[in-house]
Structure 1
Amino acid sequence: MKKYIKFIALALCIPLLSYLLSSRTENEPETISETIIKEERSPILVEHFPENQTQKVSHKLDSLLKRINKRHDFHGALLVAKNGKILYNNQVGYADFRKKEPLKETSLFQLASVSKQFTAAAIMLLVERNQIQLTDTVNNYFPDFPYENVTIKNLLNHTAGLPKYFWLAEHKWNQDKAPTNSEMMDLLAVSNVQRFFKPGRNFDYSNTGYFVLASIVEKVSGISFSDFVKENIFDPLEMKDSFVYSYENDTIKSNQLVGYRLYRGWRHQKINSTVNDAIVGDKNVYTTSEDLFKWIVGLNNGNLLSKESLNLMYSKGETISGKKIPYGFGFRIKTKGENTIYHHGKWNGFSTGLTQYPVDDLVVIILEHTSYNAITTLNKKVKKIVSENFNV
């Protein structure tokens, strides 16, 4: 009798369970297993051209690196990729001048302003998850923010007109330890510093805007910007040697480089960190050339964001009067002459560049840490060598 009752109960439960599963609305959460399957992505494969195809161009690029190392004090890394495959990846010069340690593939460079594209991607991830909107104002998340009507989109393409936080940190900050993002947001709220123009009126490249964006990421996600980027960008794209670093708050990692300047024409002098170096979002991503290549491959192949989001990042912004500006979200956009999507960075001795030539399907990554000041010229030389010596 007991077996019969159990059988009847089971028979009644099965249709009920089927009904409940089939009637789940679109707004109800999926199971953990369903979510994992849905979010599982293909691994980021770093492919290389065969050595026999790259010997000629590699020889030319080796000679270029040796020449600029000797003549122009270049100590850094160069990675060149064509059609999604690496054709050249090498380093020249020293990581540590006192110890005479050479640079290597695992040397970690500060990206300076090239970091901004990671901040833009973090924002677009939140947009795609419907946690924020590009038309939201900063006051939606920080009610005490003193500059009204500044939208997230204004921040992304540098049309917010905000004052320079560097000046605030150097003139208004009165503590010994460098301010963090949250402390700088608090200082902005009470500093009474005028903005340059009303939002949307003009284009003015702004580090302040990107630290504010990183602060919004922290506020919405409930975790540090560093953790958010690691969990949502670096880990999915298998960028194992990449991280966000905040001076005085994070520990120095193995292979993490410092920046240098040339002193009296021959001596390399370390550049110390400043009151501005605990702020993240506008700078302070550290990575290797190969990890940075994984980033651009993953971004372009849809491993991170939708095609719609990527198009926004790669499209020129505009002012409220309709004037086009040469900046998307985290990327500079050049359409005159040769179409180029790029960003350069310069901070505390680090000079960096990530350049995409879409027509040629060519990527050039330059990372340097001794105040090299000719990234644009070097890019042109690299592109010329590749076009003349690599026909794949």
Structure 2
Amino acid sequence: MRRLFLVCVILISLVSSCDEEKKANAEPKPTSEPIPDLAFEESGSIDAYFDSLAQHGKFNGVYLFARNDSIHTRSIGLKRLRKKEDSLNLQDVFQLASLTKSISAVILLMCLEENNISLDTAVQNIIPDFPYPEITTRQLLAHRSGLGNYMYLTDSLWNNPDSFMLNRDFYEFLRCEQVPLYFSPDRTFDYCNTNFAMIPIMVEALSGLPFEEYAYANLFEPLGMLSTHFMNPFTQNSEEYDVIGHYPNGKEKLAFYLDGIVGDKGLVSSVFDLYRFYLEMKSPTVIGSEYLDEAFQPHSRTKSGNFYGLGWRLRPMEQDTIIFHNGWWRGFRSYFWMSKEEDKVVIVLTNATRGGYLNQNEVWSLF
């Protein structure tokens, strides 16, 4: 029923890449339509919980709770904390931080399905100059590749911190430096941003399209996620968005040289668009269930006692499993928690990081 509401040793020249990116992103971004609230008897207790956090300076953001045919949404706080001018609204877009990984995984799975490629295909079969022939696509998505964190490499090798890196730049470092693996592929689980920063390069190699263009044409536009896009700091850096991320003390986070690397982060979206994405995860229309089901299977046990699938965390409960991902990057936090057995989801986006992560047990039990 709710669907009715949703109508390579030389780095590539930064100058030329900037021109290409600007041409591709010159048009203004469309905006998604809001989704109306429907009767929700627990809305009072949900609001009281977040009001309490906000009164203690521990919440500034937006949230969406949905179960069956009931939806409740709300915004609390400001777009820029110290200016105290513009209040947040439900159509605002936030950086998703590591929640980007879950959506990037789905985009890659769609591309693999389209090209009839197995998850166990070596990455080198997709990107011939990938320097690690033993690593498979599944191992990347399950954080079992053995790759090290690119951020440690780029911090020491990128000599222009005032200029933004792109995925192709990071990949040239990875390829040319021949960085040793941390461990043999598939030996263990190690959460690593590099795995998902490879996704745009793989999608572009398979599709022949820029990653953002492929994602928009095949996922965002068909689902009506019109406010969702990957950041391009050459056309709009993080300081030029309406909603700004903040340090715990309320100071604004400035644009950062790694903002141009996406896949592991870098996606911008709204709670309404993420709800549309949730509906697709529950009843897929643009991706086959065979590939999507693989993403929700446990591939590794994590230190917290939960499991990791392919771009998703899995938390077994007594009669259900919460499929989820959180994110934290440059003053933003994100939460996307959905039930495996029920039609139930929690989506929370914040632009302030004072206080710890939301308590999943407490929030999940609110409705």
SS state at 2:325 partner: strand
Using the alignment, how far apart are the partners of 1:228 and 1:253 within structure 2? Answer: 26
* Percent identical: 26
Distance in 2, Cα, partners of 1:197 & 1:86: 47
* Residue 361 of structure 2 is aligned to residue 375 of structure 1: no
* Residue of structure 2 equivalent to 1:108: 93
The separation in 2 between residues aligned to 1:168 and 1:50, in whole angstroms, is 48
- 2:56 pairs, out of 63, 71, 77, with 71
Point out 4+ residue stretches in structure 1 off by more than 6 angstroms. Answer: none
- 1:89-112 deviation per Cα after TM superposition (whole angstroms, max 9, x unaligned): 001011122152110011111111
Name the amino acid aligned to 1:121: V
Structure 2 alignment gaps of length 5 or more: 8-33
SS of residue paired to 2:297: coil
Higher relative contact order (CA 8 A, sep 6+): 2
Give 1:250 deviation, angstroms. 4.3
Change (3 A) 1:182 1:132: farther
Report the CA distance between 1:201 and its aligned residue. Answer: 0.8
**In 2 relative to 1, CA 209–325 (structure 1 residues): closer, same or farther, beyond 3 Å?**
farther
Q: Distance between the aligned counterparts of 1:336 and 1:48, measured in 2?
A: 31
Secondary structure, aligned partner of 1:276 = helix
Match of 1:32 in 2: none
| Cα distance in structure 2, aligned partners of 1:362 and 1:254 | 34
What CA distance in whole angstroms lies between the structure 2 residues aligned with 1:325 and 1:135? 23
Structure 2 match to 1:279: 261
Deviation per CA, 1:354-381: give whole Å up to 9, x if none.
Answer: 001234432011111111453341x332
Alignment of 1:165-314 (within 5 A): 165-175=150-160, 176-250=162-236, 256-263=242-249, 268-314=250-296
Match of 2:102 in 1: 117
Q: Which deviates further from its counterpart, 191-200 or 275-284?
A: 191-200
In 1: Cα distance, 2:112 partner to 2:178 partner: 31
> Matches of 2:317 and 2:49 in 1, distance apart?
27
Aligned equivalents of 1:43, 1:364: Cα separation in 2: 18
Query: Relative to 1, partners in 2 of residues 1:189 and 1:49: Cα closer, same or farther, differing over 3 Å?
Result: closer
Shift of 1:385: 2.3
Supply the distance in 2 between the matched residues of 1:113 and 1:286 (Cα, whole angstroms): 11
Larger radius of gyration: 1
Partner of 1:161: 146
* Structure-1 residue corresponding to 2:73: 89
Conserved in 2, the CA contact under 8 Å of 1:111 and 1:345?
yes
Equivalent in 321, 325, 328 of residue 343 of structure 1: 325
Which stretch has the larger CA shift, 332-341 or 182-191?
A: 332-341
Contact kept, 8 Å, 2:38 with 2:70, in 1: the verdict is no
Alpha-carbon distance between aligned partners in 1 of 2:164 and 2:186, rounded to the nearest angstrom: 31
Find the aligned partners of 1:173 and 1:62 in 2 and give their Cα distance.
45
**Residues 25-64 of structure 1 mapped to structure 2, 5 A cutoff:** 44=6, 50-51=38-39, 54=40, 56-64=41-49
1:21 equivalent in structure 2: none
Q: Would you say the 8 A contact 2:300–2:309 is kept in 1?
A: no
Deviation at 1:352, TM superposition (A): 0.7
d(CA) in 2 for partners of 1:182, 1:255: 24
Does the Cα contact within 8 Å between 2:64 and 2:346 map onto a contact in 1?
yes
Match of 2:312 in 1: 331
Q: Which amino acid aligns with 2:74?
A: N
State the number of aligned residues.
333
CA contact (8 A) 2:335 2:347 kept: yes
Scaled by the length of structure 1, what TM-score is found? 0.79
> In the alignment, residue 258 of structure 1 is paired with which amino acid?
I
| Matches of 2:323 and 2:283, distance apart in 1 | 16
Bigger Cα displacement from structure 2, 102-111 vs 271-280: 271-280
Deviation larger for 120-129 or 250-259 = 250-259
Per-residue deviation, residues 290-309 of structure 1 (Å, max 9, x unmatched): 11000010222112212212
User: CA 1:363/1:116 → structure 2, altered by over 3 Å: closer, same or farther?
Assistant: same
Which amino acid in 1 is paired with 2:173? L
